[in-house]
Structure 1
Amino acid sequence: MGTDKLQELRNKIDNIDEQILKLLNERAKLAVEVGHIKKENKMPIYVPSREKKIFERLESLNKKYGEVFPTKYIRPVFREIISACRSTEETLKVAYLGPKATFTQEAAIEHFGQAVEYIPVSTIKDVFEEIIRGNADYGVVPVENTIEGIVNYTLDLLVNYPLKITGEVILEISLHLIGLNPDKNKIQKVYSHRHALAECRDWLAKNLPHAQQIEVESTAKAAEMAKDDYESAAIASEAAADIYGLQVIERKIDKPANFTRFLVIGKEIPPPSGKDKTTFVFSLKNEVGALYKTLEPLYKHGINMTKIESRPSKREAWDYIFFTDIEGHISEPKVKEALDELEKKSPFFKILGSYPKAH
């Protein structure tokens, strides 16, 4: 009786799977038609605001169906469906800080899905260059970590290049000790990116005090360095362990609440999604109360500032520029009016992007 019921349920699941497959193909056909219209009207293939609205609508609708399928998996499932359907319109090319299996690639997949041509490059600057040269449509770069702080090089490049922030990804980082040899006592060298080594400083001091710590350009490169040496280990992701044939010796050796913010960069500011953030940079006049006076238009127009970070301008000693995040999209009248006023008060001003907030 039990086996008959089991087979009956499996048959029903098979039928539903077939219906899902049929509907996926129908969706893909519609995506092809959408792609033709976009190309005829010279519209962008990738519209992050549209994709965000799809996710939010489906997450809300899931309550109607009892949430038997967990709502937290709606976004990743439909991200891959949308990514695959988008590839029928055009294959996006996305550059990221490589090699394969870096956290930056993980963030890129989190944002764009798997059905994208990913281009690993050696430096953050190379990500910007690939877009400028037309070899990539978008790029993904790290900008901030909750433990190690701002990636200043990324901020400097945003000021100097004519590109825009089109999105952001907040990724929880889990760092593991990985290697060929499971015996920690045999490890003489530990490879990783300097931020990862810093984040795991306490664990390394307690558990591998005599191991030499060697900085390399990425956690994935660290895994590559450790794959042929039984006396070496790397601090990297589980994905890096899988790709380079290493085993996880110790899990989660970094500090808790370790999150990294990544920026998606491209050539154009995307349309508003309804839940957006605008990032800009400005400098100050050399006068008393300059910061207060410059930021006053935000208060005047009711704009919420969520972040401000200062950096040396590199033009002259003790001269600073300020990277600022505010709520809202540049196309909103009150945001535009506030920033127009702010620009008039600043010797240097640049909009770095308006984009959907990370969920």
Structure 2
Amino acid sequence: MSDEQTKLGELRDRIDGIDQQIMDLISARARCAQEVAEVKMTYNPGADVFFYRPEREAQVLRRIKEQNPGPLSGEEMARLFREIMSACLALEKPMHIAFLGPAGTFTQAAALKHFGHSVVSVPLAAIDAVFREVESGSAHYGVVPVENSTEGMINHTLDMFMSSPLKICGEVQLRIHHHLLASAETREGEIHRIYSHQQSLAQCRQWLDANRFGIERVPVSSNAEAARRAAEEPGTAAIAGDMAAELYGLEKLAGNIEDRPDNTTRFLIIGRESVGPSGNDKSSILVSMRNKPGALYQLLEPFHRDGISLTRIETRPSPSGTWAYVFYIDFEGHMEEPKVAKVLAEIDEEAVELKRLGSYPVGVL
């Protein structure tokens, strides 16, 4: 046996031993998670016990990224632990996560990124259907898109919060990479139609004008639906992501065709319960002010005075009347923090209506 073979054999033996230690430690962690569930059920008999705590998981993932010794990156290490926590949580009962479907959409990718692959993902046809599924208790949480760095806010999601009792429990940002996809039987020169969601077509407009000018562009309900059609209809292609390509067995004719390389979509996690402070949080509110001069200044001035940073402000028509508006505001901090509570109390005195949509951990992954 050569020196190389001897050294490789020794290293592989070490890896086998380490693998056994990893399995033993993961099993110990899983047993500990089961004990946590047992304690919660023992001290809350008959209650609707929530085993998933967004603030706790955010704290764990942050600590792992900060204390990671390498050589794996902090992001990669946190993703590994995300899956371990997902599997441990599923020992009691896998969570059902509703998302804007069908299967293979970027929203499903965001759901799996946030909750891990041990959940049951439930595709639904529309954003309002996701809200209803969570409100009814059929799903533990829902995942809906709220804004894209290129195309702006998803107004349907904002409007649903006006009437829904659900809370925002988390956020996840997903880098969006679009690919031009077609079936193996479709040749490049045969393509006469390209399917995609209207936002994806807009996000790839410059590339399409430069590289596929003159080919018909047909908007459909989702990128996954576009991929399904491209898989079934000869002479067609789809703009979609990796998950849809794998699901429908499509080949990549061109990759990363989005016009902006930093194209990112932000998704919200919606649920029925409030989330406690995690140490690095964001909050969202809806505010309807009286229609009078200086109303917007009166709304924003308390945030400035108390040093609370706004990360997003949007205006939506109010369902209560013509030319009335509702402000959707994201800001840094948790509503349980004294200075945040003080500002919200001050706004509440002047506003026609203040709806607290929730405080939640800033996205870790």
- Pick the TM interval, shorter chain: over 0.9
- Matches of 2:215 and 2:316, distance apart in 1: 35
Distance 1:341 1:41, change over 3 A: farther
Is the 1:184–1:208 contact (alpha carbons within 8 Å) kept by the matching residues of 2? no
Percent identical pairs in the alignment equals 43
Q: For residues 100-131 of structure 1, what are the alpha-carbon distances to aligned partners after superposition, in whole Å with 9 as ceiling and x for unaligned? A: 11000000011000011111111111100111
- Matches of 1:224 and 1:87, distance apart in 2: 31
Question: After superposition, where does 1:34-49 map in structure 2 within 5 Å?
Answer: 34-42=36-44, 43-49=49-55
- 2:323 paired residue among 315, 318, 325: 318
Q: For residues 280-338 of structure 1, what are the alpha-carbon distances to aligned partners after superposition, in whole Å with 9 as ceiling and x for unaligned? A: 01112121111111222223333222211111113322211110011111111111111
Is the 1:159–1:352 contact (alpha carbons within 8 Å) kept by the matching residues of 2? no
Q: Partner letter of residue 10 of structure 1?
A: R
What SS class does the counterpart of residue 25 from structure 2 fall into? helix
- Deviation of the 1:264 alpha carbon: 0.3
2:225 corresponds to which residue?
A: 221
TM-score by length of 2: 0.95
What SS class does the counterpart of residue 338 from structure 1 fall into? helix
Q: For residues 20-65 of structure 1, what are the alpha-carbon distances to aligned partners after superposition, in whole Å with 9 as ceiling and x for unaligned? A: 0111111111110001112233442111111111112122222xx4
Question: After superposition, where does 1:227-266 map in structure 2 within 5 Å?
Answer: 227-256=231-260, 257-266=262-271
- 1:273 paired residue among 275, 278, 300: 278
- Matches of 2:137 and 2:271, distance apart in 1: 11
Give the aligned length.
356
Question: After superposition, where does 1:1-359 map in structure 2 within 5 Å?
Answer: 1-42=3-44, 43-62=49-68, 65=69, 67-180=70-183, 181=185, 183-256=187-260, 257-359=262-364
Deviates more, 1:298-307 or 1:50-59: 298-307
- Matches of 1:40 and 1:175, distance apart in 2: 48
- Matches of 2:362 and 2:186, distance apart in 1: 41
Is the 2:286–2:328 contact (alpha carbons within 8 Å) kept by the matching residues of 1? yes
- Deviation of the 1:134 alpha carbon: 1.3
What SS class does the counterpart of residue 91 from structure 2 fall into? helix
Is the 2:182–2:236 contact (alpha carbons within 8 Å) kept by the matching residues of 1? yes
Q: Partner letter of residue 6 of structure 2?
A: D
Gaps of 5+ in 2: none
Is the 1:45–1:90 contact (alpha carbons within 8 Å) kept by the matching residues of 2? no
- Matches of 1:194 and 1:72, distance apart in 2: 32
Q: Partner letter of residue 7 of structure 2?
A: K
- Matches of 2:83 and 2:74, distance apart in 1: 15
Distance 1:340 1:238, change over 3 A: same
What SS class does the counterpart of residue 235 from structure 1 fall into? strand
- Matches of 1:194 and 1:41, distance apart in 2: 50
Q: For residues 104-162 of structure 1, what are the alpha-carbon distances to aligned partners after superposition, in whole Å with 9 as ceiling and x for unaligned? A: 00000110000111111111111001111211000000010011111000000011111
CA RMSD of aligned residues (A): 1.3
- Deviation of the 1:183 alpha carbon: 3.5
- Matches of 1:214 and 1:124, distance apart in 2: 21
Is the 2:291–2:324 contact (alpha carbons within 8 Å) kept by the matching residues of 1? no
- Matches of 2:186 and 2:243, distance apart in 1: 18
Gaps of 5+ in 1: none
- Matches of 1:167 and 1:185, distance apart in 2: 45
Is the 2:186–2:234 contact (alpha carbons within 8 Å) kept by the matching residues of 1? no
- Deviation of the 1:204 alpha carbon: 1.5
- Deviation of the 1:194 alpha carbon: 0.6
